Amino acid sequence: MGTYDFVVGIFVGIGLAFVSTTWQTSRIPAVRASYPGDVVQSTVRRNATQSRYLHEAGEQTQVKKLGGYLFFGTIVSAENEIRHLIEAKNFKERPIRYLVLDLQHVTGIDYSAAEAFSRLSRVLFKKGVTLYLSGVHPGQELCESLISVGLGQEDIEVKMFADLNSALESCENEYLKTLYASKEARSNRQATSHLDVPSSDRASFQLSEPQFNSPRVNQLQKSAHFALDQHPNETRYYNLSQPLKLLLQTFQSLTPKTEDFWYRSLRFFERKEYLSGTILFKVGESATGFYLVEEGILRADYDLPQGKYFESIVAGTTCGELPFFSETDRTATVMAERDCVCWLLDRENWQLLQKEEPDIAQELLRISLKLTSERMGAITSYVLTTAG
């Protein structure tokens, strides 16, 4: 100001402040945390076979949490880190199928950063990697900025989700298609092996199965076979009636007890059907039932002072075991997300079971502790991931 002019000094000061702010902001990394998919999973309750398979298959998912304001000064480091994932050497050592970018803690984005997402989607598409964006709400400025640069267009699939849990669940559902296909193929082979089929026809049947050359597909196939090998008795349960079949499938990884043991408990369970939208119980109510889910999906919504989250409870799993066996109030509101068939052990039958079949009651208590430990581990892992 003293050398030239007061107005010139003002503009020089504004320019220096802009450069200083840009430099300081660019030093804060946009990528706050990175997790492989076998470490962080959705809160969906799945049976033992699915959980084991998804833990192995999750290696093909990479989650990166972004934060702060994304602009040309911060997006460069994030873009370079993502490109590093799909470099030939790194991609060969750890091929990924899904890249999940969590934008929940992103406060804003400029045009250059939005363009970077569009460039990344094209690069990932060439590698066969699907880009998932979580923390993107329709109608919000972040979502509009990403759409304005053409993200997800030109036949390049980019999926957007409101929260990380939904994105992870979508990835897991895609992985499970391979597990179901492997399970069906295994059942077909077992059925064919019992038939009097000429060797030439049997060879043609085996050769008709798809041949996979992709390392990612081969890894999924191996993971599926490994998970199915861990529970070879599932096919033996098909001819059993319910709820014995459900009990054995649900508890197979939690107890060594056989069908003769659980057969004595069948008269204490009652079959219940719930239409979509039906509320089974609400938070704060007394726990009067323990549920085994045979068909459909239940949704448990937790509304805590620390925040909200939900979990889906699929067929082959349990619901409401901890409050029921500990005789405490419900901690969540559970409703039928789809039409469901459940087997209910109510309070009256539980009292009779403890009196008439104490060994079964004791085993159920032990199983409930194992189930609670598993759920606490999964939920704690997810909560710590979202908070990171």
What pLDDT is stored for residue 77 in this prediction?
Answer: 85
Topology (CATH level 3) of domain 237-387? Jelly Rolls (2.60.120)
What pLDDT is stored for residue 209 in this prediction?
Answer: 37
Is domain 26-228 classified as CATH 1.10.3720.10?
no
Q: With a cut of 70, which residues of the chain have pLDDT below it?
A: 1, 6, 8, 16-29, 189-213, 231-238, 388
What pLDDT is stored for residue 275 in this prediction?
Answer: 96
What pLDDT is stored for residue 364 in this prediction?
Answer: 95
* 3-state DSSP of the chain: CCCCCHHHHHHHHHHHHHHHHHHHHHCCCCEEEEEECCCCCCCCECCHHHHHHHHHHHHHEEEEEEEEEECHHHHHHHHHHHHHHCCHHHHHHCCCCEEEEEEEEEEEECHHHHHHHHHHHHHHHHCCCEEEEECCCCCCHHHHHHHHCCCCCCCCCEEEECCHHHHHHHHHHHHHHHHHHHHHHHHHHHHHHCCCCCHHHHHHHHHCCCCCCCHHHHHHHHHHHHHHHHCHHHHHHCCCCCCHHHHHHHHCCCCCCCHHHHHCCHHHCEEEEECCCCEEECCCCECCEEEEEEECEEEEEEEECCEEEEEEEECCCEECHHHHHHCCECCCEEEECCCEEEEEEEHHHHHHHHHHCHHHHHHHHHHHHHHHHHHHHHHHHHHHHHHC
What pLDDT is stored for residue 252 in this prediction?
Answer: 83
| Domains of the chain, residue spans | 26-228, 237-387
What pLDDT is stored for residue 203 in this prediction?
Answer: 38
What pLDDT is stored for residue 70 in this prediction?
Answer: 87
